[in-house]
């Protein structure tokens, strides 16, 4: 087992222990319930960290772009079908406020001077996993990062 896989397994166990449907995140300011499906999505997406970026990529072996990563993770981890571009995926979800964000929700950004041109998976504590073309790998970024904060557009939920 590689060090990366060991880290991911430990993180998965930690997240799984943090709650199920109807439970509350310890120390959360708003006591938002944690969803099992949302946790599954987060855990699965963490396993894709450092996967190569590829425009139009839909699986980790070939590389992933942002919408391909979301489609792949939602299908594999939660059995949910979301597909198309980031804008297409945004149209499929239920709009919620940023204050209602829970792990597994999708966050959308305007990164190409058009609405909903980038998407990531919210993992909690102001962080999200995404497949940006910059630096060419799936990674974790922060919503309060200046680049993303000025381009933030919306949150969508697809379960619960």
> So which residues are the catalytic ones?
66, 118, 130
Please list, in sequence order, all residues whose beta carbon lies within 8 angstroms of the beta carbon of residue 126, skipping any fewer than 6 positions away.
142, 143, 144
Q: Torsions phi, psi of 55, nearest 5? A: -55, 130
Number of H helices, E strands in the chain: 5, 10
């Amino acid at each position: 087992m590689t060090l990366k896989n060991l880290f991911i397994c430990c993180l998965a166990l930690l997240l799984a222990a943090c709650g199920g449907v109807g439970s509350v995140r310890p120390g959360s300011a708003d006591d938002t319930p944690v969803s099992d499906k949302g946790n599954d999505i987060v855990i699965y997406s963490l396993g894709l960290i450092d996967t190569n970026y590829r425009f139009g990529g839909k699986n980790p072996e070939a590389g992933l772009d942002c919408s391909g990563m979301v489609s792949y993770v939602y299908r594999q981890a939660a059995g949910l079908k979301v597909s198309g571009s980031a804008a297409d995926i945004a149209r499929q979800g239920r709009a919620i406020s940023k204050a209602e964000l829970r792990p597994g929700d999708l966050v959308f950004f305007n990164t190409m001077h058009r609405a909903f041109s980038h998407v990531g998976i919210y993992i909690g504590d102001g962080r999200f996993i995404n497949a940006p073309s910059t630096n060419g790998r799936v990674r974790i970024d922060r919503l309060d990062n200046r680049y993303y904060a000025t381009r933030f557009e919306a949150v969508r939920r697809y379960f619960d």
